[in-house]
Amino acid sequence: MFLEEDVDQYIYFTRNTSLNDTLLNELGNLSQIFDDAKGYSLPKDMPVYLFVQEFNEPIPTWQALHEEQANSVDNGKMMLIDGDHFLHFEHSN
C-alpha cells in the first residue's frame, strides 16, 4: 500500500497526529458536532464529488445522507466504493 521510503514518514505522522488533545476532544463531542453542523449547507455553486462507503451497517442511512449532500449543489456526484470508512487508505490508487 505504501512505498518503502514512505513508511517511516507515515509512522512519524501517525504517531504525532493520532490521539492528540484536539482529536480526543473532537471524538468526545461527535454528537454535538454533528447536531451543530445540521444547520449548515454547501454553497450551491461548489462542485462536490463524494467517495462513499457502499455498506455501513451501523448507519443504515449513510448512502442517503451523502446523496442528499451531493444533490444539494448544482454539480454534485457520489461514487460508492466497497470498503471500510477509511477509503483513502484502502483505495488510494
Distance CA 9, CA 27 (A): 25
pTM of the model: 0.63
Residue in 22, 30, 87, 77 with CA at minimum distance from that of residue 54: 87
27-53 pLDDT per residue, tens:
899 889 988 988 889 999 999 999 998
Element (H, E) at 49: strand 48-53
**Average of pLDDT values for 1-28?**
80
Check residues 54 and 88 and name the one with the higher pLDDT: 54
Distance CA 46, CA 40 (A): 14
